[in-house]
A and B are shown apart, each in its own frame.
Chain A
Amino acid sequence: QVQLQQSGAELVKPGSSVKISCKASGYTFTSYDMHWIKQQPGNGLEWIGWIYPGNGNTKYNQKFNGKATLTADKSSSTAYMQLSSLTSEDSAVYFCARWKYYYSGAYFDYWGQGVMVTVSS
């Protein structure tokens, strides 16, 4: 069965960077886009961007340009997101989610359990 297993919670200092992971299993990792979504405490969901692990192509929400960097390691079926120059506004839960294409459209069919990132001195 499809599983997306994300790394553990992070407590990081302002101005630093953090790299979180999403290990995929149960499907061909290189055949599906992996997306990342941000959820601040008590708030809704915000799309960050995606990576296609097959060739490393990425697309970002303009709002996260320079903040998030998406990579993928085909050998371990793991997607990564690095967040840089962290501020309190980056404190949130970050989800990875698989993008499922269906005819001319697509949707998120599987989600990771989420990683809580807390930015605090």
Chain B
Amino acid sequence: DIVLTQSPATLSVTPGESVSLSCRASQGISTSIHWYQQKSNESPRLLIKFASQSISGIPSRFSGSGSGTDFTLSINRVESEDFSVYYCQQSYSLPYTFGAGTKLELK
């Protein structure tokens, strides 16, 4: 199984800061990585598909990059509504797997 390691586990920031969240795959997965945001007691929401492709309706402050084994989700100037948990997920091979998540919290 492909293991996705997300870091850091928790990121404490103040609104207006820009942040980068990391997702590292245990083997090369091209750009078959997707990012989701999950707010408390809600279902995950797709933010970025295939490492860097934007999603309609998602604010432009969210962007993604990377290929192979190292991927990054960037949030430019964090807003209060962004405090939640972020997951990466690979669709390269079965079983599909998720990272353990990065919690973005208010400092």
Contact = CB atoms under 8 A, between A and B. Distances in A.
Is the A/B pair a real complex?
A: yes
Contacts, number: 48
B91 A111 contact: no
B88 to A, nearest CB: 10
A89 interface: no
B89 interface: yes
Given A45-B98, A62-B95, A108 B50 contact: no
Interface string A49-92: 00000000001011100000000000000000000000000000
B24 interface: no
Given A45-B44, A95-B43, A105 B32 contact: yes
A114 B94 contact: no
Interface residues of B, number: 21
Contacts of A26: none
Interface in B56-83: none
B43 A44 contact: no
Contacts of B97: 47
Interface of A: 35, 44-47, 59, 61-63, 95, 97, 102, 105-109, 111-114
Interface of B: 32, 34, 36, 42-46, 49-50, 87, 89, 91, 94-101
